[in-house]
């Protein structure tokens, strides 16, 4: 099994890939688009993508890419994210003038970042917060540039990989900082013990359309654990909807609900039916 992920070695996506399959060969990719391309071309058997964080919310780019590509969700992984402040060896926290990290990580550490802001009239320079392409990539930028006035928010493993020191750990705003990842594959896999299904659909723009769509699940006592809307590109003010259902696609209630939904939706697509993550 070869799993493509976005980021550098030491990225949280790499940790999630190895949590899903400890002996997997992992393939780092510079962008989420390349993760999809690697799976589509056969360069990797699977890809792993963050889709939602318990603090920062949804990673919208990956919802859009799931709609654009004909790949199937075959599993999910939840990872407890513990952010650290990293710096070049010998750098003091007071010497930092900028902080690098991915926008999601920065959003998850807002309270900590505010503690780095100097008091008014203190005479100290402000600390600049700079968004980058990756958490571990931020650590790599510091290592490669020998930046002694720059910190990175990344994992403790990224510090080990790139030879940086940890100035502070557990700096996220909330201890329960969970990121949910989905595993994608070219193959549509039938998973016997699946208990979660992700569906994508579009509706006509008319009164009660969303109410009717959701009612097909409510009438059959199917629990929705997530509802996400995304704009349909090239069609201003029209939207598609993602729903996560606590049921297998093979369950007759789910099958009937989707047939019912297709009667008035513009289109319906099942992205995957898989087993919800449970830490052992």
Catalogue the active-site residues.
179, 181
| Alpha-helical regions (H) of the chain | 12-20, 32-41, 60-68, 103-108, 110-115, 135-145, 156-162, 209-218, 252-262
Contact 185, 39 (CB under 8 A): yes
Q: Which of 37, 6, 5 is nearest to 133 (CA)?
A: 6
Question: 199 Cβ partners below 8 Å, 6+ apart?
Answer: 242, 243, 245, 258, 261, 268, 269, 270, 271
- Rounded to whole angstroms, how far apart are CA atoms 179 and 181? 6
Cα–Cα distance, 255 to 221 (Å, whole number):
13
Tell me phi and psi for residue 94, to 5 degrees.
Answer: -70, -15
**Residue 104 near residue 180, CB atoms below 8 Å:** no
Q: 269: closest CA among 278, 258, 279?
A: 258
Q: Where are the alpha helices (DSSP H) in 168-267?
A: 209-218, 252-262
β-pairing, 72-80 vs 178-185, is: antiparallel
The number of helix segments (H) and strand segments (E) in the chain equals 9, 15
Q: Is 214 exposed, middle or buried (0-12, 13-18, 19+ CB in 10 A)?
A: middle
Q: In which residue are the tokens 């590109």 written?
A: 233
């Amino acid at each position: 099994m070869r799993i493509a992920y976005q980021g550098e070695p030491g990225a949280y996506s790499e940790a999630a890939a190895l949590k899903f399959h400890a002996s997997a060969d992992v393939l780092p990719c510079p962008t989420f688009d390349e993760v999809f391309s690697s799976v589509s071309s056969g360069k990797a058997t699977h890809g792993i993508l963050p889709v939602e964080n318990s603090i920062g919310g949804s990673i919208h780019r990956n919802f859009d890419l799931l709609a654009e590509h004909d790949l199937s969700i075959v599993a999910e992984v939840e990872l407890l994210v513990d952010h650290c402040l990293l710096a070049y060896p010998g750098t003091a926290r007071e010497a930092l003038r900028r902080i690098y990290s991915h926008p999601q990580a920065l959003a998850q550490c807002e309270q900590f970042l505010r503690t780095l802001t100097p008091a008014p009239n203190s005479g100290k320079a402000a600390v600049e917060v700079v968004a980058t392409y990756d958490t571990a990539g931020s650590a790599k930028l510091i290592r490669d540039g020998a930046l002694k006035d720059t910190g990175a928010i990344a994992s403790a493993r990224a510090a080990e990989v790139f030879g940086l020191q940890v100035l502070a750990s557990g700096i996220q705003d909330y201890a329960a900082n969970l990121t949910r990842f989905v595993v994608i594959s070219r193959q549509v896999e039938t998973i016997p013990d699946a208990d979660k299904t992700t569906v994508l659909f579009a509706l006509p723009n008319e009164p009660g359309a969303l109410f009717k769509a959701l009612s097909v699940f409510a009438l059959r006592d199917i629990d929705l654990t997530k509802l996400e809307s995304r704009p349909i590109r090239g069609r201003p003010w029209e939207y598609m909807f993602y729903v996560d259902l606590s049921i297998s696609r093979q369950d007759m209630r789910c099958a009937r609900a989707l047939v019912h939904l297709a009667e008035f939706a513009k289109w319906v697509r099942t992205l995957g039916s898989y087993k919800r993550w449970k830490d052992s």
